[in-house]
Amino acid sequence: TPSLGRPGEASAAGAITVFAASSLTDAFTKAGAVFEGRVPGADITFNFGSSSTLATQITNGAPADVFASADEPNMQKVVDAELVDGSPSVFAGNHLEIAVAPGNPKRIAALADLARPGIIVILAAPTVPAGRYALESLNKAGVSLSPASQEIDVRAVLNKVALGEADAGIVYVTDVVSAGTRVTGVAIQERYQVIGRYPIAVTRSATKPTLAHAFVDYLLSSDGQQLLAGFGFSRP
Amino acid sequence: MLHAEVGLQLGTLALDATLDAKAGEIVVLLGPNGAGKTTLLRAIAGLTPLARGEVTLDGAVLDDVARGVHVPAERRPIGVVFQEYLLFPHQTVAENVGFGLRARGVDRVHARARALEWLDRFELAAYADARPRSLSGGQAQRVALARALAYTPRLLLLDEPLAALDASARGEVRRDLKRHLASFDGIRVLITHDPLEAIALADRLVILEEGRVVQTGTPSDVTQRPRTRYVADLVGVNLFRGRAKAGLISLESGSTLQSAEELDGDVFALIHPRAVALHRHRPEGSPRNVWRGRTRSLDLQGDRVRVAVDGELAIVAEVTPAAIRDLALAQGGEVWVSVKATEISVYHA
Amino acid sequence: MLHAEVGLQLGTLALDATLDAKAGEIVVLLGPNGAGKTTLLRAIAGLTPLARGEVTLDGAVLDDVARGVHVPAERRPIGVVFQEYLLFPHQTVAENVGFGLRARGVDRVHARARALEWLDRFELAAYADARPRSLSGGQAQRVALARALAYTPRLLLLDEPLAALDASARGEVRRDLKRHLASFDGIRVLITHDPLEAIALADRLVILEEGRVVQTGTPSDVTQRPRTRYVADLVGVNLFRGRAKAGLISLESGSTLQSAEELDGDVFALIHPRAVALHRHRPEGSPRNVWRGRTRSLDLQGDRVRVAVDGELAIVAEVTPAAIRDLALAQGGEVWVSVKATEISVYHA
Amino acid sequence: MTPERPPLPVIIAAAVAIAFFLIPIAGLIARAPWATAVEELTRPEALAALRVSFVVSVASTILAVFFGVPLAWLYARVAFPGRDVVRALTTLPMILPPVVGGVALLFAFGRAGLIGPVLDGLFGIRLSFTTLAAVLAAFFVSAPFLVLTVEAGLRSMDRRFEEAARTLGAGRWLVFRDVTLPLIGPSLFAGAVLAWARGLGEFGATITFAGNLPGVTQTLPLAVLVALESRPEVALMLSLLLLAISAVVLVALRDRYLRLA
Amino acid sequence: MTPERPPLPVIIAAAVAIAFFLIPIAGLIARAPWATAVEELTRPEALAALRVSFVVSVASTILAVFFGVPLAWLYARVAFPGRDVVRALTTLPMILPPVVGGVALLFAFGRAGLIGPVLDGLFGIRLSFTTLAAVLAAFFVSAPFLVLTVEAGLRSMDRRFEEAARTLGAGRWLVFRDVTLPLIGPSLFAGAVLAWARGLGEFGATITFAGNLPGVTQTLPLAVLVALESRPEVALMLSLLLLAISAVVLVALRDRYLRLA
Ligand SMILES: Nc1ncnc2c1ncn2[C@@H]1O[C@H](COP(=O)(O)OP(=O)(O)OP(=O)(O)O)[C@@H](O)[C@H]1O
Ligand SMILES: Nc1ncnc2c1ncn2[C@@H]1O[C@H](COP(=O)(O)OP(=O)(O)OP(=O)(O)O)[C@@H](O)[C@H]1O
Ligand SMILES: [Mg+2]
Ligand SMILES: [Mg+2]
């Protein structure tokens, strides 16, 4: 059972809006459904978008109860604007993986293979977390390459690989999981890994802070963590 | 040589007309509003497709529906002056006039020079660089005329080219037009509404009514022997149709006219308004045709007055203003009409 | 009562004209192309702003530049028939004619009924539901006329309302127009290019040249005492300007004319073409004015011929076709001209 | 008029253009998961997005007509000082990347924006994250298309018809309704279609200014984007739905458009 | 023509519209980090994005004119069977969410697409991740705007002027160049501006079809998007640059446009 953290189950009833990073779409949709099932009267609406858009919206007064960001800098903007109730907690991590065409026709086994001539590699732009992490990871591995494109988000990297436009791209494990059979994931060695951290917080302007905290608590609970793991997220 | 047999249907108009014109000839097309004159012109110019018939110009087949021949408008050596002018609003007057030359490959400088000559001739030089929008109606029409004349087509089609010209300019432009038309051996087909103009300009008149040619001939042929009420009105004469037997003409209305001419069968009887005498009382003496009527209208025309009289026979008389005074004629007043038998000319219908 | 004093500059035109018209009066505006007739009409209608002057109609001030008054076009009780028709292309003919009524709040059904009556009167009933695009030029003009007549404005401005009508329809429409115009006490100002028409319709003529009124008066005033070459051409008479002293008129060209009238000072000398005699040889006898010339052109006009003769004095003579034959006249041929002193009418310039 | 025989270069250019537009659409159709189509498209989220899209695109088109036509009229007819600059500025939303447009709208009408607090204080209107916000976002990016098209129409029409109407006693409004509007019909129609289309496809400004709330501000394009994250086939299906709707509307409206022209 | 006094409702509607468009832009300007403006805008990436945007938007506008005008002509003038459906289909790229448009382009012209392999095999043309791909993406989303506007212009022009030109000896091409084009000038100009603007602001289809490679396919809107993720102030600055360029172009072109009208 979820720990509601605040006394009085009745106060948990109501509607809250959760602003969450796009990469959490599948996991949070599921988590929301489970949570609603456990807390009678709870109604969660999600507003998925890129973390930076969500941060901008919240700092401009958007009616968010909970904010789940895909990286810490965007959460920090909201914290700096003094819009967070308490302090954010990191509730999930995300590993990197190399996405290749189904069946890995180019036989890519490691980061070093990406530098092979004739292999079209794309990364996320260095301004988005996945792109930054990918560069760090390549650095650690001592691989230097010039990507054919610096995609605006990691989802675009995945789609180009899935459509055969690129031979390989560095994405999150969760992306490979949600892509199903459209791509194959090639693991990156532990020592070259860079892990993305997902912070979550309840906002100051939350209309139902009790319920909001309850949802955050649920995600941090072992049930929540197990559910997230099912979508490829690692424990923080 | 232009030979045009045009059959087509457009809205309510069923056009079925043949038009022939010889080199050097000026043919004037006359007809009431909506008779199909403009449509016939458009068909000859290649702008309105024929349903039946053919058009040949100087031996070249421009249209032949049966054989599927259709030469597009731009490859016909035909110039057209449109009733609505259709000057290009985005070009200057000089560019408009030079357009036909430019289209035929004349370079900009020469085209402009030639255009200016033409504008000069039409006293429009001051407007060379103006936009058509700023021209008066008559100026616009003169530009349209210059534009169609500026290159030398072999057939010129003019749709009321003088209608918007003021009377003083008209005489001059008409003389200019006549002079220019005379200076090349092309064929000219002209629409005008002004019978005086038609008679002054035409070598041959073609009368179109309801899409059909009802009469054709030299101006004097047509004016002396009109064959429809429209032509008679145009010429300003009284025309009656009837059956003649030994000088007595039985009209369709049931009345009779006594003529001096001996011509039997279906005839037209023509009476010039000048030959119609009006009297306050029943006239004595020789006139064979006398009847009573009521004046419908009085029309001053130059120095004469035309009096329309209703009665057994509706007829128009032409008298002097003095006669009006003497007769104390007024609209709706009673009057006696007499026509001498010798003043009625009769010809076969 | 219309009183319009209009001063404005438009392109090359400097308009500075005064126009007055009384209730019940038909004023005809005559002038060469580009004289500013249309512009004057537009100014009165409220479509072209004045730079100076004022317009009042039946005591109501419509424009007064000095006092800053300007009544917008739609609030002037003025109907306009435009030279270019301007029928609304997206409405049917009946809708066009009913437009003025609708704009005045008449409901659709009644507006249509009244429009149909009007179309009937103009023999256009068959086209009630057609689009203006499918009308012939003359039909379009008649619709425009019907549209301006269909509601009853107090002032009607007609810009060449009969120009595109064929001669046969013109007579009838003119009569219709006259009849209708007579049936209400409004003021009518009409532009026409046809001097015959002008004389037939006008109660008063106003002659506009280069933006200025050069003459005004009843048709007979104007035709008998033209004051500019344009009017003289229009009326078809010869006009000369000079200085008279004891019957001898010294013209600007240096020639002289002998007249029977005793009038001294700056004068106009008017000679009717009928009074100009032509001769193959120098004529003997009484005529005081005799000179030699060369025929410039021959113009058939109805049953007479107008002969333009160049020479010491350029003059136009009117003779019969028979005379042409007798004199063996041809273009460019030599001829003697004589005018009797009693045939020259003289009046103050 | 002679029916036109099109010249060859025109045919070739037009054919290349048609092919270029049709092949990608054919590609979309070919790759769509038709087997599960009905099931996917009748899911409540899809239907909700469809409803929101309909409301938003129609409302923003109506706004575009009501505000855009006067604006176009002003630009075409009234030479007020600074007109060219104002016109250029009001044309900019077309060029602004929509996400930036959304940010700009937040700056202006957001709860913490320039006049958002004023609206809230005076009228109690809070825009952000409401359907109205989505409508305004669509209006912001799409209205300039209508304005530009209608202005072009007004500039090329023959104004003498308006003068004729005025002499017949029609006041400004009647002239405008019965003469001007019908005469610029094709342009107004084209402008409205452009604006509607742009509004229907709008996404960047909407997600930023109005958020992505299912049933409230989640339009079809937003639903497509969300689906694209995890289930691209569904996204394709939704896109095809969007296309089908637009195609039907465009073909249906055509009749009316042709009658006007 | 009488100078028009605008009626009050028009003024009010237009003023509301102008305010609605200007306030967000004012908001952008207010929040932009002017202190570092020069430095930010002269960074090589910014300049490269500017260059790519210029090339891509101009090239796609030229393509749009060259292919769009014939297409519009065909639609307005030739009644071929299925015209309405073809027209509706070629109008769809306007409505398609741009990202989906990009996906469709990939399906068609991508390495694994319908005719991408054909182009590669026959001509050695590979589009992906090239500037040409960015041009085609912009063309795909923007050309329909030109087509619709020009078609409206063609439909409302008076065709009798073309007939007059033909009787003066002008063949199809001359008639088209010297009569038709000048007469539809305002519409063509409006259409080209619309297409250019749409192309300049385009990013969804571009990023999907052409990718985001600085100096090659990264246009200003993409640079804005990328910057928005980490340094929103820079994104604002870049957006304002985009706006400034467009504003200057729009005001400058205006002269020519007005002369045509
Ligand atoms: N495109 C069209 N559609 C339908 N009807 C048409 C069309 N063009 C012409 N007509 C009809 O054909 C008839 C003849 O028109 P046309 O213009 O040839 O007459 P017209 O003899 O030139 O008359 P006018 O002297 O008045 O100019 C008119 O009654 C008109 O309604
Ligand atoms: N908008 C304008 N811009 C420039 N010039 C103009 C404008 N309107 C009229 N004009 C000039 O004013 C002059 C008079 O034009 P207007 O139309 O009044 O003449 P009009 O007397 O009606 O001639 P017509 O009998 O040929 O119709 C013309 O020379 C014309 O060039
Ligand atoms: Mg005609
Ligand atoms: Mg005029």
Of the three residues C232, C255, C276, the one that is the final residue of a domain is C232
| Residue B86 CA to ligand 1 centre (angstroms) | 17
pLDDT in tens, C9-31: 998 899 999 999 988 788 999 88
Domain with residue B328: its CATH number is 2.40.50.100
**pLDDT value at residue D261:** 40
Atom 3 of ligand 1 has which residue's CA nearest to it? C134
For residue B174, the tally of other CB atoms under 10 A from its CB is 19
Q: Please report the atom of ligand 1 found closest to the CA of residue B13.
A: 12
Quick one: C42 and C159 in the same domain? Answer: yes
Characterize C146-161 residue by residue with b for buried, 16 or more Cβ atoms within 10 angstroms of its Cβ, and e for exposed: bbbbbbebbbbbbbbb
* pLDDT tens profile C72-124: 999 998 989 888 889 999 999 999 999 999 998 899 999 999 999 999 988 88
The number of the ligand 2 atom at minimal distance from the alpha carbon of C211 is 14
Of ligand 1's listed atoms, the one at least distance from the Cα of B83 is: 27
Identify which of B84, B90, B147 has the shortest CB distance to residue E182: B90
Residue C147 backbone dihedrals phi, psi, to 5 degrees? -60, -40
Domains of chain E as residue ranges with CATH: 37-260 (1.10.3720.10)
Residue recorded with tokens 């501006």: E193
Pocket of ligand 1 (CB under 6 A): B 10-13, 31, 33-39, 83; C 134-139, 166
Residues 17-56 of B with CB under 8 A from D: 46-49
Residue A186: strand pairing partners: A98
Q: Rounded to whole angstroms, how far apart are CA atoms C316 and B56?
A: 43
C282 lies within 8 A of chain B by CB: no
Same domain, B139 and B243: no
Mean pLDDT taken over chain B: 86
Q: Which residues of C touch E2 (CB under 8 A)?
A: 46-49, 72-73
pLDDT above 90: residue D99 = no
**Among C9, C39, C83, C158, which is best to mutate for testing ligand 2, by the most ligand atoms less than 8 A from CB?**
C39
What are the respective helix, strand and coil percentages of chain A, to the nearest 5? 40, 25, 30
Q: Return the ligand number nearest the Cα of C207.
A: 2
B212 and B68 within one domain: yes
Cα separation, A12 vs C44, whole angstroms:
79
**Does the interface ipTM go beyond 0.90?**
no
Cα B311 to ligand 3 centre (Å): 35
Give the pLDDT of residue A7: 39
Contact C151 D160 (CB under 8 A): no
What confidence score (pLDDT) does residue B67 get?
A: 94
CATH code of the domain in which B152 resides? 3.40.50.300
Question: So what's the pLDDT on residue C167?
Answer: 64
Write out pLDDT tens, residues B129-172: 999 988 887 788 789 888 988 888 888 898 987 776 766 666 66
Q: In whole angstroms, give the CA distance from residue B44 to residue B155.
A: 10
Mean pLDDT throughout A131-144? 92
Alpha-carbon distances of E246 from B220, B259, D146, E207, E252, rounded to whole Å = 72, 89, 18, 21, 10
Query: What pLDDT score does A5 carry?
Result: 41
Q: Name the nearest CA neighbour of A66 among A220, A200, A173.
A: A200
Q: Tell me: pLDDT of A138 over 90.
A: yes
Q: In a 3-state reduction of DSSP, which class is residue B289?
A: strand
Do C260 and C339 belong together in one domain? yes
Identity of the amino acid at A86: G
Q: Say what the pLDDT of residue B211 is.
A: 93
> Interface partners of D (3+ CB pairs, < 8 Å)?
A, B, C, E
Q: Separation of C36 CA from ligand 2 center, angstroms?
A: 6
* Residue D123 CB-density burial (10 A; 0-12 exposed, 13-18 middle, 19+ buried): exposed
How does the average pLDDT of chain A come out, rounded?
88
Interface test with E, best of B80, B81, B88 (most E CBs within 10 A): B88
3-state helix, strand, coil in chain C (%, to 5): 30, 35, 35
Indicate if C324 and C266 belong to the same structural domain.
Answer: yes
pLDDT of residue A10: 43
Alpha carbon distance E58, E134 (integer Å): 12
Mean pLDDT, residues A12-23? 86
Confidence of residue D43 (pLDDT cuts 50, 70, 90): confident
Which of B84, B93, B136 has most ligand 2 atoms within 8 Å of CB, for mutation?
A: B136
Closest CA to B343 of B295, B287, B292, B281: B287
Q: What is the pLDDT of residue E261?
A: 41
**What is the predicted pLDDT for the residue at B213?**
95
pLDDT tens column, A22-40: 889 889 999 999 999 998 8
Interface test with D, best of E21, E57, E155 (most D CBs within 10 A): E21
Interface probe with D: pick from A47, A58, A157, A177, most Cβ of D within 10 Å: A47
Confidence bin at E5 (pLDDT 50/70/90): low
Ligand nearest to the CA of B138: 2
Q: Rounded to an integer, what distance in angstroms lies between the CA atom of residue A233 and that of residue A24?
A: 10
DSSP letter, residue B283: P
Atom of ligand 2 nearest to the CA of C36: 18
Least confident of A41-45, B130-134, B302-306, D202-206: B302-306
Indicate whether E257 pLDDT > 60: no
- Would the CB atoms of E226 and A152 count as touching at under 8 Å? yes
Q: Does residue C218 sit in the same domain as residue C106?
A: yes
Contact call for D228 and A155, based on CB within 8 A: yes
* Closest among E14, E43, E32 to E243, alpha carbons compared: E32
The answer to whether the Cβ–Cβ distance between C74 and D169 falls below 8 Å is yes
Runs of H (alpha helix) within chain B: 37-45, 93-103, 108-121, 137-150, 167-183, 195-201, 219-224, 229-235, 321-327
Partners of residue B271 on adjacent β-strands: B238, B344
E2: confidence class by pLDDT, cuts 50, 70, 90: very low
Q: Any idea what the Cα angle at residue C291 is, between residues C287 and C293, rounded to 5°?
A: 135
The chain D residue lying nearest E29, using CA atoms, is D104
pLDDT of residue D194: 81
Say if residue B336 is in the same domain as residue B228.
no
Predicted pLDDT at B101: 93
Which position has the token pair 């319908």?
E114
Q: What is the span of the domain harbouring residue C51?
A: 2-232
Among C198, C216, C232, the domain boundary falls at C232
Other C-beta atoms lying within 10 Å of the C-beta of residue C117: 14
A24, A154 Cβ separation under 8 angstroms: no
- Mean pLDDT for all residues in chain E: 84
Residues E160-180: tens digit of each pLDDT? 899 999 999 998 888 988 999
Closest CA to B313 of B331, B289, B329, B334: B289
User: What are B20-42's pLDDT values in tens digits?
Assistant: 998 878 899 988 888 999 999 99
**Token reading at B20:** 């022939």
The total of structural domains in chain B comes to 2
Percent share of chain E, pLDDT over 70: 95
Q: What is the reported pLDDT for B85?
A: 85
Distance of residue C233 Cα from the nearest chain B Cα, in angstroms: 6
- Output the pLDDT for position B51: 94
Whether ligand 2 lies within 6 angstroms of the CB of C111 is answered as no
Domain termination site, one of C232, C267, C291: C232
Ligand found nearest the CA of C39: 2
CA nearest D86 in E: which residue? Answer: E18
State if residue C35 touches ligand 2 by the CB under 6 angstroms criterion: yes
pLDDT over threshold 80, residue D3: no
**The predicted structure's pLDDT at residue B20:** 93
pLDDT: is D32 or C245 the higher one?
Answer: C245
3-state SS assignment for residue C29: strand
Asked whether residue C133 falls in the same domain as residue C115, the answer is yes
pLDDT, average across residues B296-304: 72
The answer on B299 and B161 residing in a single domain is: no
Give Cα separations from B188 to A155, B22, B29, B45, E165 (angstroms).
76, 9, 11, 13, 20
Note whether B266 and B169 are same-domain residues: no
Verify whether the Cβ–Cβ distance A178 to D230 is below 8 Å.
Answer: yes
B174 and B29 belong to one structural domain: yes
Residue type for position B297 = S
Which residue owns the Cα nearest ligand 1 atom 6? Answer: C134
Average confidence (pLDDT) over D201-213: 86
- Cβ-contact E64, E142 below 8 angstroms: yes
Going by alpha carbons, the residue nearest to atom 17 of ligand 1 is: C136
Tell me the CA–centroid distance for residue D9 and ligand 3, in Å: 36
Measured distance CA(E217)–CA(E129) in Å, rounded: 7
Global confidence as pTM:
0.80
Nearest CA to ligand 1 atom 28: B34
The residue type found at C114 is R
pLDDT at position E92, please? 82
Q: Are C267 and C349 in contact (CB under 8 A)?
A: yes
Instruction: Decide: B73 and B103 in contact? Cβ < 8 Å.
Output: no
Atom of ligand 2 nearest to the CA of B127: 31
Kindly provide the residue ranges of all beta strands, DSSP E only, lying in A152-195, ordered along the sequence: 168-172, 184-187
**Radius of gyration (C-alpha) of chain D in whole angstroms:** 21
Q: How far away, in angstroms, is C138 Cα from ligand 3 center?
A: 7
Q: Name the residue with the closest Cα to ligand 1, atom 30.
A: C135
Q: Is the pLDDT of residue A209 over 50?
A: yes
Weakly modelled stretches of chain C, pLDDT under 50: none
For the CA of B40, the closest atom of ligand 1 is 18
- Average pLDDT of span E108-128: 82
Percent of chain D at pLDDT above 90? Answer: 20
pLDDT at D1: 41
Q: What is the distance between the alpha carbons of residues D147 and D159, in angstroms, rounded to a whole number?
A: 19
User: In the structure encoding, which two tokens stand for residue C38, read together?
Assistant: 């249309």
Contacts of A25 in chain D (CB under 8 A): 226, 229-230
Q: In this predicted structure, what is the pLDDT of residue D6?
A: 72
Type of residue at C296: R
Is D160 within 8 Å of C84 when comparing Cβ atoms? Answer: yes
Interface probe for E, chosen from B47, B71, B74 (most Cβ of E below 10 Å), is: B74
Kindly report the number of other CB atoms within 10 A of residue C60's CB atom.
13
List the beta strands (DSSP E) in B246-302.
248-251, 256-258, 265-271, 276-279, 289-301
**Which of these, C235, C175, C184, C167, lies nearest to C205 by C-alpha position?**
C235
Q: What whole-number distance in Å separates Cα of residue B46 and Cα of residue B155?
A: 13
**Pick from B173, B129, B127, B153: nearest CA to B62:** B153
Asked whether C11 lines ligand 2 (CB < 6 A), one says yes
- Say whether both C184 and C227 belong to one domain: yes
In chain E, which among 176-195 make CB contacts under 8 A with chain B? 178-179, 182-183, 185
